[in-house]
Amino acid sequence: MFNFLKKLFTQKKIIKIITAIDDNNGIGINGDLLYKIPADMQHFVEKTGTDTVIMRSGTFESFGGKPLPRRQNIVISRRDDYDGNGAVVVKTLGEALIESTSKTVWIIGGAGLYVEALPICDEIEVTQIFGARSADTFFPEFKNDFELIKKSDKEFDDKNNVWFEFQTWKKK
């Protein structure tokens, strides 16, 4: 137990969240993303790079149950027999942070993991989608505890008929 705590507190990780939200903080419906914007997908790849990505099993399964390429994938599952198909499988966010092999880790979903990670998160990368669709999954309120430090020019996605911009929020 002592080694577990020592490792957790001596290896400071930079914890970042990445998400796409609409005007109502909607992020998904029926286990899928609200919007599939190619520029957002490219932004995700560029931002997360080769850093560790941490996700719950539902998010992992939404990718087809296969690890994302060129990075360590850590899946949080309560099931003892969960098959990560090459991804590291752990039971808690704390274990995931300890298992991470990169200094920066990205929390990539789902909604419950965002809620759990928000208090320890250093930065949030948001694709802000201007508009709203029917959603059943939402990103938690965060703007009281974070400040907007950077945003891109607005872009238009023809496929989804929406404007969006990339934003970086830092913990106050």
Which of 7-11, 63-67, 78-82, 115-119 is predicted least confidently?
7-11
CATH code for the domain in which residue 18 is found: 3.40.430.10
CA distance 93 to 116: 8
Number of independent structural domains in the chain:
1
Structural domain range at position 87: 2-171
Residue-wise pLDDT for 1-27, tens only, equals 445 555 555 568 999 999 999 999 999
Among candidate residues 77, 99, 72, the one with its CA nearest the CA of residue 7: 99
Walk across the sheet containing 137-138 and list its strands: 32-33, 26-29, 137-138
